[in-house]
Each structure stands twice: as structure tokens, then as C-alpha cells.
């Protein structure tokens, strides 16, 4: 079992910044990647960013957040971060982190943290 706990969400004005954290615990030794997803009201959950734990820690971003968001990892703390800059009202959503233990779909999800960007 793996537990994921997100934090760092909140209310911010457009153009502002927030940093989300996702702390992983449990059987994470075989994990291969972690990612951030978001779900806005009335919309499907969508991919935001991911970081691989192999191959040099490569990262991937959705086009909508590229050059504004940065995903990073602190191995010692078993924590992944999402630095969000130049926030826009359309970034408003519940943000979820997830962890992948193999090469398939993400296996475990956090409970989500609300991000609200006011115009």
C-alpha cells in the first residue's frame, strides 16, 4: 500500500504562484513515476505534469501549463512538488497527485487539494 498526501492548495489572484506538495509513504520502493492531475468542475480529470524516477528524472507537461509549472522531487523526503507560476483562472481545479509502481497506469492517488485562481 502507498499513501499520498497533497498540500499547498489555496486561493490566489491571477498572476500569482502556489507550490503543491505530495508526500508519499508506504511501499514506494518500486515506484517508477509520479504525476499531477487536475479536475475542474464539470470537466474530466486531466494530466498536468509527471516526473520519472528512472532515466535521469525526465519530466513531462501538459501544453496548457508548460513554461509556467515545474515538477520536482525531493528523494530524501519522498515528496514531489508542483511549482505553479503565472496562475490563470482556468487553472482552478482540484489537484491530485498519483504514483506509478510499474509501467502501467497510475496505481495510487491522493485525496486532492483545491486550487482557486481569482481574476
Q: What is the pLDDT of residues 51-107, one digit of tens each?
A: 998 877 899 999 999 999 999 999 888 999 999 999 999 999 999 999 999 888 999
- Of the candidates 86, 94, 90, 85, the one whose C-alpha atom is nearest the C-alpha of residue 112 is 94
Question: pLDDT tens digits for 11-27?
Answer: 999 999 999 999 999 98
Contacts of 11 (CB under 8 A, 6+ apart): 116, 117, 118
**C-beta separation of 80 from 72 below 8 A:** yes
Amino acid at each position: 500500500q502507498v499513501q499520498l498526501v497533497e498540500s499547498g492548495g489555496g486561493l490566489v489572484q491571477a498572476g500569482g504562484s502556489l507550490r503543491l506538495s505530495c508526500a508519499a509513504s508506504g511501499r514506494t520502493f518500486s515506484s517508477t513515476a509520479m504525476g499531477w492531475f487536475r479536475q475542474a468542475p464539470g470537466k474530466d480529470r486531466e494530466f498536468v505534469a509527471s516526473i520519472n524516477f528512472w532515466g535521469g528524472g525526465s519530466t513531462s507537461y501538459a501544453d496548457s501549463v508548460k513554461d509556467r509549472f515545474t515538477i520536482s522531487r525531493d528523494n530524501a523526503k519522498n515528496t514531489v512538488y508542483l511549482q505553479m507560476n503565472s496562475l490563470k483562472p482556468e487553472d482552478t481545479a482540484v489537484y491530485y497527485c498519483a504514483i506509478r509502481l510499474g509501467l502501467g497506469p497510475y496505481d495510487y492517488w491522493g485525496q486532492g487539494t483545491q486550487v482557486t485562481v481569482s481574476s
